[in-house]
Amino acid sequence: MSNFSQTLTDVISSSPFEVATEGTSETQKPCHDVRLFSEDESRIGTLPVERRRITLKGIKPISHVSHELKSYYLYGAVEPKTGESFFMEFPHLDSVCFQIYLDEFSISYPDSFNILLLDRGRFHKAKSLKIPSNVALLFLPAYSPELNPIERVWEAIKAEIANEVHTAIDSLIDRVAFVVCNLSQMVIQSLTSYSYIINAVNDVFQ
């Protein structure tokens, strides 16, 4: 994404904090480091995630299905540079849940100025939102999920539960939580370290 380094610089310059950037002099004592996270939400439901299966030639694979849909939402943020992540489960996709997520995210990273790269979902831009002082929202161009690295994390999570049948939502939540907890920072970093992000972070933050 062209001029992304300049976009990050503009966001940082609007921060109420003194932050550490490439141009910070030794006489300045920055109060906050700057971190860039990719944020998004994904619906997880009891309808099985279907994937192809390998069978002998001429034999069709047998798949079990569940026709009753129960679902919840996984909100997540990942830091492409380090692979660090922050996930929460919510029953709905709306500004109320997003506000709770932002508040908890802010509390979890109190010593840094945190930029969240995210899509232009309506609830992401709700007027009722109160953005924490150590968080800034940086919106991606419209209709460009391919620019959001966390999309690859959702794919990895759903690949782990592909073709599984969970008739009870609690069983599914526990299974996905297990998968998420076992995603190492190295794996997340390898999935999300898009060059346009890493290059910009290195240009601006180092």
Within a domain: residue 21? no
pLDDT tens string for the chain (206 positions)? Answer: 668 988 888 888 877 666 555 554 443 434 468 999 999 999 999 876 655 656 666 666 666 666 668 999 999 999 999 999 999 999 999 999 999 999 999 999 999 999 999 999 999 999 999 999 999 999 999 999 999 999 999 999 999 998 888 889 999 999 999 999 999 999 999 999 999 999 999 888 76
Whether the Cβ atoms of residue 66 and residue 47 lie closer than 8 Å to each other: yes
Within a domain: residue 3? no
Whether the Cβ atoms of residue 153 and residue 173 lie closer than 8 Å to each other: no
Within a domain: residue 188? yes
The per-residue pLDDT for 31 is: 47
Which residues, in sequence order, are CB contacts of 35 under 8 Å at separation 6+?
A: 79, 81, 109, 112, 113, 114, 115
Within a domain: residue 149? yes
Query: In CATH, what number is assigned to the domain containing residue 194?
Result: 3.30.420.10
Within a domain: residue 109? yes
Nearest 5°: the CA angle 172, 174, 176 is: 70
Q: Domain residues for 130?
A: 32-45+70-205
Q: How far apart are the first and last CA of the chain?
A: 20
pLDDT single digits (tens) 134-157: 999 999 999 999 999 999 999 999
Q: How many domains does the chain have?
A: 1
The per-residue pLDDT for 198 is: 93
Within a domain: residue 119? yes
The per-residue pLDDT for 62 is: 60
Task: Please tell me what DSSP assigns to residue 126.
Answer: -
Burial of 146 (0-12, 13-18, 19+ CB in 10 A): exposed
Record the pTM. 0.85
Within a domain: residue 76? yes
